[in-house]
Chain A
Amino acid sequence: MSQKTTDRTGAAGANKAAGKQAKGLSRRSVLKGAAALGGLAAGSGAVTGFPTIWAQNPITLRQFGTGVSNLNAIAEKCKADLGITLQMTALDSDAVSQRVVTQANSFDVADIEYWICKKVFPAGTLQPMDVKKIKFYDQIVPIFTTGKLTPESKIAQGTAPNTVSFVEGADSKKFSPTPTQWMTLIPTIYNADTLGIRPDLVGRPIKNWKDILDPAFKGKTSILNIPSIGIMDAAMICESAGIAKYADKGNMTKAEIDTTIDFLIKTKKAGQFRAFWKTFDESVNLMASGEVVIQSMWSPAVAAVRSKGIPCVYQPLEEGYRAWGGGLGLAKHLKGAQLDAAYEYINWYLSGWVGAYLNRQGYYSAVLSTAEKYMTPDEWAFWMLGQPAKTDILSPEGKVMYTAGAVRDGGSFQDRMGAVACWNSVMDEDRYMVRRWNEFIAA
């Protein structure tokens, strides 16, 4: 990130915060440790109670996670607002899950995905959080609590976050299907994934997941090679192509796994796939270099391709999206001042600045109401409401991502998150699935 642009966005943030000050101050100043004021505090020198405490008694929290949300900008802002030093270590998702389970003392805060949570939380290296200490708990998007975006919506298949969001008690490792006082992860980012395409190279409209099987794209397609995620891509494709019908995609039977993997092997042998990607960056490089013209992708990866001046569309599909989410978990060993600091950090995380930062990258944040305050109305309308941009839409780094008039692929938050067909999953037959997945890769 360039110094210049940091200044620019920083200044913009401060101005915005100042603009909000008039109506927000009286209400928020009574909230103890209103960390949302941090941006303002940094500019004006008016310091709320907490930063001084942490400044006198320096606290360091070690956080790790994938590079997707383990951003240095967040650590910097956290230091400025709270005085808490965040030491960020970026790892790939494999290493993340291993570290949670095997190196319980090597971290304080773990930034992990919900499907990983299903595997690692029972290992007992994380402690659940008391929702009474989470200030914005009530405003967290209900996907993570009740599982329903709106009261009438249906919970999607797979490891939906709400199924692993709560445990039965403070020392329990058992997931509770309904909300309790003890929350495993505080959601950070989530998104609805679909296929990314190169509109200049596909040369036809793309409407369904099965379009990735079109012989015209032979040797120019890709899906993810993380078994728990890739199998869901595969399931969406198989269902769309009429190869299989699943009772529950997120919890397949052995027979369903066999059908899916056998089909994948057949497709692979026919040369349909160019590569399988594992890290974010690979998907960007595959698309940007033209190795692949249609592939499973993440929203900011599409943005990254586009920022290089290469056309790329995040194509909404009739069958809906495959969704994923990540959240922050606290290490078991945290206690005393460190635990307090961790709660403070999490409350700050939900208080808006981070949410806005993440929303601007094309992800969604956990508490939308606070994030909105840190975004311009135009930004909010573009990213969350699916309306055409009135001005150029900038990335958090200050680069133009979309020019005025552009509309977000897939539309509004409700349109996208409301059309989730399944979540990344850990199935009951996980062990069998991984064996078969290895077979597919080896075939």
Chain B
Amino acid sequence: MTLSRIAPYLQATPLTAILAAFLVLPIATIVMVSFWDYDSIQIFPAFVFTNYEETITSPVTWSIYLNTLKYTVIVWAVTLVIGFWVAYYLAFHIRSATAQMVLFLVCTVPFLTSNIIRMISWIPFLGRNGLLNQSLMQMGLIDQPLEFLLFSDFAVVLAMVHLYTLFMVTPIFNTLMRIDRALIEAARDAGANAFQILTNVIIPLAKPGIAIGSIFVVTLVMGDFITVRFMSGGQSASVGLMMANQIALLQYPAAAANAVILLILVLLLVGGILRIVNIRKEL
């Protein structure tokens, strides 16, 4: 009896220990360093608010945060629509578990090629003389190469959708699989049309999956820097990129202050999502 009472604690210990060492401690360090001072050469222990002051009072920070939020909203919306329908297709139209697995694997294979290589390969795909532009021109659809395809907000969103849609598909698929098919039959017998079944039965039941997928996508986009840098050709900034720049120039306290602000913002966003859906219960 006693064993079964302490069992959960033992079982939870490894997770707790790992998170304490590699999450809580580092975050605490960041919070600490965010109050430190620095010059162009070194950082030194202190307790100053200049890092926060400079970050919050600068209009740059605000425009970068806005820009990051813009990416987040657009990418979230696009991945949600695509992710939902892909998950829907896999859950309701593919009947054998093996076939579902195979299709999932087919979707993951491109991700085994390093992201950096895939980023580079967007240039010959979307570029002025790229595959897409040349195909479109050969088909006679355009006579000038489309410049906006690469090094633009469009390119950033495209690459992010490419990277992150699967994070939306997986949790939604998971919840869709749990929907009791009898419910749908019942709704149909009660005279509901396909659209009503979708909006009144399936979507409400898929909410936890949508919530988890949204958490994935929102946090990934908010923290991203490498996609923004590569795909905008350095033309556009995100919070992550701003931090990466500060880190690169050894302005750790400034980056840490930025990090704390970003963390609070992301926590608020996720808190909002969790308020709508209790994912732990409904998973």
Interface residues of A (CB under 8 A from B): 93-94, 97-98, 101, 118-120, 122-123, 219, 222, 225, 227-228, 268, 273-278, 281, 285-286, 289-291, 426-428, 430-431, 434-435, 437-439, 441-443
Q: Quick check: B247 and A435 within 8 Å, CB to CB?
A: no
- Segment with Cβ contacts to A, from B38-46, B85-93, B135-143: B38-46
Which A residue sits closest to B145, measured CB to CB?
A: A290
Question: How many Å from the CB of A275 to the closest CB on chain B?
Answer: 3
Instruction: List B residues at the A interface (Cβ < 8 Å).
Output: 38-42, 54, 58-60, 63-64, 67, 120, 123-124, 127-130, 147, 150-151, 229, 232-237, 241-242, 244-251, 254
Q: Are A94 and B123 in contact (CB under 8 A)?
A: no
Chain A residues with CB under 8 A of B247:
94, 98
B251 touches A98 (CB 8 A): no
Tell me the complex Cα distance, A435–B64, Å: 12
Task: Decide: B60 and A438 in contact? CB cutoff 8 A.
Answer: yes
| Residues on A with beta carbons closer than 8 Å to the beta carbon of B251 | 431, 434
In the bound complex, CA of A274 to CA of B59 (Å): 25
Point out the residues of chain B lying under 8 angstroms from A435, CB to CB. 54, 58, 60
Please measure, in the bound complex, the distance between the C-alpha atom of A437 and the C-alpha atom of B244, giving whole angstroms. Answer: 13
5 nearest A-B pairs in the assembled complex, by CB-CB distance: A275-B233, A276-B234, A94-B248, A442-B237, A430-B40
A291 to B126, CA, bound (A): 11
Which of A225, A275, A428, A439 contacts B40, CB < 8 Å? A428
* A338–B249 alpha-carbon span in the complex (Å): 30
Cα–Cα distance between A278 and B54 once the two chains are bound (Å) = 26
Known contacts A286-B123, A431-B39; 18 further A-B pairs (Cβ under 8 A): A94-B247, A225-B234, A274-B151, A274-B233, A275-B232, A275-B234, A276-B235, A278-B234, A291-B127, A431-B38, A438-B64, A438-B242, A438-B246, A441-B236, A441-B241, A442-B60, A442-B67, A442-B237
**Is there an interface contact between B250 and A277, defined as CB atoms closer than 8 Å?**
no
Q: Kindly state the separation between the CA atoms of A88 and B64 in the bound complex, as whole angstroms.
A: 37
B128 touches A227 (CB 8 A): no
Hey, which chain A residues are within 8 Å of B242, CB to CB? 438, 442
Please indicate the chain A residues that have their CB under 8 angstroms from the CB of B249 in the complex.
97, 119, 227-228, 430, 434
- What is the minimal beta-carbon distance from A230 to any residue of chain B, in angstroms? 9
A-B contact count (CB 8 A): 103
The minimal Cβ–Cβ distance linking B58 to chain A, given in whole angstroms, is 7
Residue of B41, B229, B232 contacting most chain A CB atoms (<10 Å): B41
Closest to B130 in A: A289
Question: Quick one: which of A93, A120, A123, A227 contacts B245, CB cutoff 8 A?
Answer: A227
When C-beta atoms are compared, the residue in chain A nearest to B246 turns out to be A434
Question: Looking across the interface, which residue of chain B has its beta carbon closest to that of A274?
Answer: B151
Give A158 Cβ to nearest chain B Cβ, in Å: 14
Q: Tell me the smallest distance from the CB of A224 to a CB of chain B, in Å.
A: 9
Known: A94-B248, A291-B127. A438 touches B237 (CB 8 A): yes
Q: How far is the CA of A93 from the CA of B39 in the complex (A)?
A: 20
B64 surroundings in chain A (CB, below 8 A): 438, 442
Decide if A273 touches B235 in the complex (CB within 8 Å). yes
Q: How many angstroms between the C-alpha atoms of A276 and B232 in the bound complex?
A: 9
Question: Which single residue of chain A is at the shortest CB-CB distance from B147?
Answer: A219
- Measured between C-beta atoms, what is the minimum distance from A180 to chain B in Å? 20
Known: A278-B229, A285-B123, A434-B246. A442 touches B128 (CB 8 A): no
Contacts of B129 in A (CB 8 A): 289-290
Of the candidates B38, B120, B234, B244, the one having the most CB atoms from chain A within 10 angstroms of its own CB is: B234
Chain A residues whose CB sits within 8 angstroms of the CB of B59 once the complex forms: 439
Contacts of A98 in B (CB 8 A): 247-248, 250
Chain B residues whose C-beta falls within 8 Å of the C-beta of A276 in the assembled complex: 233-235
B40 adjacent to A290 (CB under 8 Å): no
A101 touches B250 (CB 8 A): yes
A122 in contact with B41 given A98-B250, A227-B249, A289-B129 (CB within 8 Å): yes
CB neighbours of B241 from chain A (8 A): 441
- A97-B250, A438-B245, A442-B63 known; A291 and B235 CB under 8 Å? no
CA distance A118 to B250 in the complex (A): 12
Contact at A119–B250, with CB atoms within 8 Å?
Answer: yes
Q: Which residue of B lies closest to A120 (CB)?
A: B250
